[in-house]
Amino acid sequence: MERENRTVVTEFILLGLTQSQHAQLLVFVLVLVFYLIILPGNFLIILTIRSDPGLTAPLYFFLGNLAFLDASYSFIVAPRMLVDFLSEKKIISYRGCITQLFFLHFLGAGEMFLLVVMAFDRYIAICRPLHYSTVMNPRVCYALLLALWLGGFTHSIVQAALILRLPFCGPNQLDNFFCDVPQVIKLACTDTFVVDLLMVSNSGLLTLLCFLGLLASYAVILCHVKGHSSEGKNKALSTCTTHIIIVFLMFGPAIFIYTRPFRAFPADKVVSLFHTVIFPLMNPVIYTLRNQEVKASMKKLLNRHMVC
């Protein structure tokens, strides 16, 4: 009963990415085209890895999961954003907002932990090659996968629990095109200083520590490959460079959004667009374009189906 009295707001109004009709139309077309081209590419990556017996190494196992996580992540925001572009009034229910926020952080944290696991996999493969098959056996890979899903769930449930404890009894306009922690907290009709600190610790500090840890691990790997042969060195450099690109695409916007006090900046919405829609779809594609084995397997798969 107390919960019902405190939370009067039953829905939120999303102010959207921009108020300009021309800008909305342009973004709608660009995102739709990008979505329809890149999203099938992610599913093709998953199908290629699952159907080719030659792509059973842990590296490809984790790449397939990265493509799945990124595709799932893009479903949380992009479809609704595209529909809202065509709607005069953009409304999301209180429960819908909390659900969107939960899955956004669940899959986002899961991907963040997956990138840490992929860095560990590359470290063992390059710095401890003789122990690789023993350390990264299928059982360990599935255990790591389960751990990152549990880590993502724990992170997200904490975020949602903190939001659910806040009373919302006044303004209900979210200055964004989706529900996220910084904008929702601002609408609570209570002092949110402590919650702000908890959110920054749970999202921002965790993101920053993972980012710095990943950079340090790849620095160790790159220093290690200096003494390798030319062929092995080039392959390791190519793989690590791809991983580092993905790390910056994933963590750069997240650090910008979550590691500072929740104040609005002019670039917030643009950064959020790239963080929630553009970069998640691009990550597996970037990785695949730099991986000769996956590209060759994908061509074989396409040729086989085209011949049939």
Task: Give me the residue spans of the domains in the chain.
Answer: 11-296
What is the CATH architecture assignment of 11-296?
Up-down Bundle (1.20)
Cβ partners under 8 Å of residue 254, min gap 6 = 108, 112, 203, 207, 275
What is the reported pTM? 0.88
Q: Is the pLDDT of residue 1 over 50?
A: no
pLDDT digits (tens, 9 = 90+) for 182-225: 889 889 988 888 888 888 888 888 899 999 999 999 988 888 88
Residue pair 179/168 in contact by the 8 Å Cβ criterion: no
Residue 173's closest CA among 10, 16, 13, 38? 13
Alpha helix positions (H), 165-278: 181-186, 193-199, 206-224, 230-258, 268-273
Partners of 14 in the β-ladder? 174
**What is the token pair recorded at 129?**
């090659």
pLDDT digits (tens, 9 = 90+) for 258-294: 887 666 777 888 888 888 888 877 777 777 777 778 8
**What is the token pair recorded at 285?**
């594609």
